A and B are shown apart, each in its own frame.
Chain A
């Protein structure tokens, strides 16, 4: 795990977290961005996605979940969340998880605590 105190710009915390290769293709890894635990995913289909690292259902570690092009599946009770939006798609009344923005800049992983849509 790489932790970063983060930089605040425009009221949004963001952090450079080191080489993208820390995350094996098709998996996720957890990072701290400021005080926020963030799971960053690197699906085989490409792209980088960031969600709050803790499953809103029972606190499971999302970074340990299986991932496909669309969703991550929490390893504790198999709830599924969209990588792009954090929307829970597995039913059962589980809340969505916060989604953040992850990008690659010069081979380095950059995460900001800004929702990917805005």
Chain B
């Protein structure tokens, strides 16, 4: 340690006051445990000593296959094959240990623990006392017993390798390179050949790495199922045929009985149990791993397959000995992949440092994503259905080498396997981890049904395909953006403006960018933020706002934005959220509103506004029509148009004339400009229609009168149809009602017929008009409280899952209904018609022209014949 002189580090005297923490094992799990302990202030509590029996600092074992594969290109012209890239492989350089005041004994093996004296004995004769001991001894390659494997008790036959340590990888590289040099001088076309024993994940990675070095590669696997830990037979078969297409030779269902040696004592081939032989000069043994438990066994700790630990990651025999990683057996499971190590290390550190003495590890759900010889494979949870009631969705397209399955139990994703096409891996992993509700049509887990890119992989699209039709961004533009260094979907969207128009192409943009990033596109945490400037999702943000009592947009920025600064792209979303959360107490900061909401009209391309008065249920009167006609004439309204929501739109009104037009109309605002409840389209229902089953007109009017102008995360368009002929297009509304015989009302939610077309799903069927009114309100309130900013119901409903929404909104499974109803009632009670309240100017110059010198309107004035006058 070089650091003793530095003031930030302790002198020998005060180190005595710290407890001794000893970590045995310096691989990924030991290092991770250390980092977690340090992150919790462990260096204040402990004098830390680390033993590692490999003579390096700790390194990232996951990258071993990359060491093998990446060096491939260098072999020909670079003898120093184990050269430059090793630096990146090391997780922490030696200096890291010094900087953190950690004593590292690299290359020293701990041979025994004396649990009574609380000391560990090193093979260098050292005796080191501990108060707390962490065992992270990891695991080693398993070498099945067979003739020819070993040259001596400790040395493998030349040409035989495990694939576990850095020494294994570099040894293999040296062998391959040396071999190449030798062959090139003796045999011009010398094709070297390797046998990989064990077709598991590691074996296939080794095989791919060796193949990249130009070797003919044979994989020998004792069952017919490659990667049988992760894959079931069919998935494995698809993987197999893809690997074979790439020139890998598969020997499945056979075992190796002997490694054959040449005259020089090096590998010359292998013999199988059926007696046949195969010549080769390299053998890689990847027949599984075995936890390193020798130290634990001789020290009297309970071991089965590995060292048995409790939920606090302590040996069940000794509260002062913690175990982490591949040498730990927790609730019968021994994990050999990296995710669980991270989780275990965090729990261990919580307990060891007392940061959370009650922390418990409850096991890990495994999700694996890897590329095997260019074939993408993702696997999580169970491989295949286990119970009769498990749902199993299976998709196979062997010609393309694609195979996908999902397993669902009780509405939750418990397993998924993707081979060849893992574009859905991110979404599935999320559903798997969060146990979130799933789409009713399970196949949607694997496919985007009905989207514009149906059946076409983003990677296959030609470069000139226009992806964003609003801003004219092509696939080539996005790919160029990635090649220019953009590393995330949001970065590409910001740079090209793709997806910044109507937003309906965002999914496709994401696919294209992720494909261009090689499927490595980091999930952007910002995607979960409610607004970009505040790093919180909506529930977290709402909880913070509520607990701090923040009632204005500026207060939210000040308290919650990382730099305390306001942000233009976040203001609207916060304004809407605060108006929803505090219907009575929100501080009305007009600068937090979009111009539409400042002046209660929809801005048009020339800076004029449209005026749409409320006409509930699309029902009007001759007097009202006469008045509208008079206003249109008096103010030279350039265009009077019927809207799709059954109302009348007066277009091209300059800002400074808005108040006057509203006053002359003497009608309330129709909110055709807000992220708000817009309109209820109705048919004529029972009063006139000879087919009508329910009074859709009256229900539409009542819905609109009650929920008019209620603001939310996005606009809400409703429809009510008096019979299943569905003349009000209820099935493609955010909320649509359809009368059926009874009369009863079906309530559809999540429909759309805009940038996206989606048929709504039946949330409930109710008996009465009042029940329909109440349930619609409750659904809308739930949507207001839980949908992300600008998330329409057609995204929200499938995200939450219809079954879940039914449970919460209809069946009140979570006891939320009364609260939702009460908060919606508050919003209804707080409503005020903005056209009336803003007859008086709310801010200086609220209605002043923003485009001086440009005569408005610029839009063409149309005559009644429909052509520009």
Contact = CB atoms under 8 A, between A and B. Distances in A.
A63 B850 CA distance: 6
Contacts of B589: 26
Nearest to B593: A66
A24 interface: yes
B844 interface: yes
Interface in B563-592: 565-569, 571-572, 589-592
Contact of B845 (A23, A69, A71, A80): A23
A24 B591 contact: yes
B490 to A, nearest CB: 13
Contacts of B590: 24, 26-27
B607 interface: yes
Nearest to B849: A1
A1 B848 contact: yes
Interface stretch (B305-313, B450-458, B491-499): B491-499
Contacts of B495: 91
B605 interface: yes
| From B471, B497, B571, B850, residue with most partner A Cβ within 10 Å | B850
A68 interface: yes
Contacts of B497: 90-92
Given A80-B568, A92-B497, A37 B851 contact: yes
B500 interface: yes
Contact of A45 (B565, B603, B851): B565
Nearest to A30: B850
A92 B596 CA distance: 24
Interface in A38-96: 39, 43-45, 53-54, 58-73, 75-76, 78, 80, 90-92
Contacts of B496: 91-92
Contacts of B572: 66
Given A24-B590, A66-B568, A80-B568, A54 B603 contact: no
Given A27-B591, A54-B851, A68-B571, A76 B603 contact: yes
Contact of B554 (A3, A32, A44): A44
A7 interface: no
Contact of A68 (B567, B607, B849, B854): B567
A21 B848 contact: no
Interface in B822-852: 843-845, 848-852
Contacts of A65: 568, 595
Given A22-B844, A24-B844, A67 B851 contact: no
B853 interface: yes
Given A68-B567, A69-B565, A61 B850 contact: yes
B90 interface: no
A49 B572 CA distance: 22
A35 interface: yes
B594 interface: yes
Interface in A1-24: 1, 3, 21-24
Nearest to B655: A64
Given A66-B591, A92-B471, A24 B843 contact: yes
Nearest to A89: B494
Contact of A61 (B569, B592, B844, B851): B851
B591 A72 contact: no
Interface string B206-239: 0000000000000000000000000000000000
A92 B492 CA distance: 11
Nearest to B846: A24
B565 A68 contact: yes
A58 B566 contact: no
Contacts of B569: 73, 78
Contacts of A100: none
A69 B538 CA distance: 24
A75 B603 contact: yes
Contacts of B596: 75
B853 A68 contact: no
A66 to B, nearest CB: 5
B852 A32 contact: yes
A53 B848 CA distance: 13
A1 B851 CA distance: 9
Nearest to B501: A77
A31 B823 CA distance: 43
Contacts of A1: 845, 848-849, 852
B566 A45 contact: yes
A37 B568 contact: no
Nearest to B589: A26
Contacts of A25: 591
A22 B495 CA distance: 36
Contact of A71 (B554, B568, B594, B851): B568
Contact of A21 (B594, B595, B844, B851): B844
A68 to B, nearest CB: 4
Contacts of A76: 603, 605
Contacts of B595: 61, 64-66, 75
Given A27-B590, A91-B496, A92-B496, A22 B845 contact: yes
A29 B571 contact: no
A22 B854 CA distance: 21
A6 to B, nearest CB: 13
A29 B845 contact: yes
Contacts of B853: 32, 35, 37
| From A1, A35, A64, A90, residue with most partner B Cβ within 10 Å | A64
Contacts of B566: 26, 43-45, 68-69
Contacts of A31: 852
Contacts of A29: 844-845, 848, 850
Contacts of B500: 78
Contact of B605 (A44, A58, A72): A58
A77 to B, nearest CB: 8
A45 B561 CA distance: 14
| For the complex of A and B, 4 pairs with smallest distance between CB atoms | A26-B591, A61-B850, A63-B850, A64-B595
14 contacts: A1-B848, A1-B849, A26-B554, A26-B590, A35-B853, A37-B851, A44-B566, A54-B851, A59-B607, A64-B607, A65-B568, A66-B572, A67-B568, A73-B568
Interface of B: 471, 494-497, 500, 554, 565-569, 571-572, 589-592, 594-596, 598, 603, 605-607, 843-845, 848-854
Given A24-B591, A26-B566, A26-B591, 13 more contacts: A29-B850, A37-B851, A43-B566, A53-B850, A61-B607, A62-B850, A64-B598, A66-B591, A69-B566, A75-B596, A76-B603, A76-B605, A91-B496
